[in-house]
Chains A and B, each alone.
Chain A
Amino acid sequence: GAVVSQHPSRVICKSGTSVKIECRSLDFQATTMFWYRQFPKKSLMLMATSNEGSKATYEQGVEKDKFLINHASLTLSTLTVTSAHPEDSSFYICSAQTGVGQPQHFGDGTRLSIL
């Protein structure tokens, strides 16, 4: 149980392209979903927290107009990297949580490479 599917697993695209990443909880309803960014051999850095039906809460230093988050249902959240540039290249991971104090269940990440 507690499976989170993240798609696509890898994206390679040209600078200036917008990229959408989907995160789905397959067998449970997620009240809260999180989006992280991870650099090689570094920890996960929280980008934003999203609750179904409300606006995402972004961490300090994360541009909300750059990283658009939509959490339209209890099983789906999307992250759109708008007008991506090479410095946006990274490993993006989503997670879903059923409630406060519960473990987070992670997707397998999306490797984004901007040329």
Chain B
Amino acid sequence: SQKIEQNSEALNIQEGKTATLTCNYTNYSPAYLQWYRQDPGRGPVFLLLIRENEKEKRKERLKVTFDTTLKQSLFHITASQPADSATYLCALAGSSASKIIFGSGTRLSIRP
């Protein structure tokens, strides 16, 4: 069955360092992959979308890579700040359907 794994349930890093979150998937051939941020008690907020033919995408301090051979996406936050503390969700979607499947998320904590 299709499976999405975000390897770390929680990640704690020092302010100023680069946070790297991992998303792996099996039994799936996604057309695109998305990353969302979710704060406690709130709905997810869209951050970045990367398509299967793209290797890397950047937006300000965020960078996403997509390796369809390894079936993996990495999400980087450079120069991390305490305000970046949140749960980050990866989500996959196929080209033949509009619904997406979410990973369980990684709770990121940036300590001052």
Residues of chain A at the chain B interface (Cβ within 8 Å): 2, 4, 6, 32, 34, 42-44, 46, 49, 93, 95, 97, 99-101, 103-109, 111
Smallest CB-CB separation from B90: which chain A residue? Answer: A43
Chain B residues closer than 8 Å to A99, beta-carbon distance: 98
A108 touches B98 (CB 8 A): no
Q: How many residues of B contact A (CB 8 A)?
A: 23
Q: Is the interface of A mostly helix, strand, loop or mixed?
A: strand
- Residues of B93-112 at the interface with A, using a CB-CB cut-off of 8 Å, are 93, 95, 97-105
B98 touches A100 (CB 8 A): yes
How far in angstroms is the closest Cβ of chain A from B38? 9
Q: A32-B98, A44-B102, A49-B98 are contacts. A103–B49 as well, Cβ < 8 Å?
A: yes
Smallest CB-CB separation from A4: which chain B residue? Answer: B43
A104 touches B100 (CB 8 A): yes
Chain A residues closer than 8 Å to B95, beta-carbon distance: 100-101
A103 touches B34 (CB 8 A): yes
- B89 contacts partner chain A, Cβ-Cβ < 8 Å: yes
B104 touches A43 (CB 8 A): yes
A93 to B36, CA, bound (A): 14
B43 touches A106 (CB 8 A): yes
B99 touches A49 (CB 8 A): yes
Smallest CB-CB separation from A91: which chain B residue? Answer: B41
Residues of chain B at the chain A interface (Cβ within 8 Å): 31-32, 34, 36, 41-46, 49, 89, 93, 95, 97-105
A46 touches B99 (CB 8 A): yes
A43 touches B41 (CB 8 A): no
A108 to B44, CA, bound (A): 8
Cβ contacts A to B, 26 pairs, < 8 Å: A4-B43, A6-B43, A43-B102, A43-B103, A43-B104, A44-B44, A44-B89, A44-B102, A46-B99, A49-B99, A93-B44, A95-B43, A95-B44, A97-B98, A100-B95, A100-B97, A100-B98, A101-B93, A104-B34, A104-B46, A104-B100, A106-B43, A106-B44, A106-B46, A107-B43, A109-B43
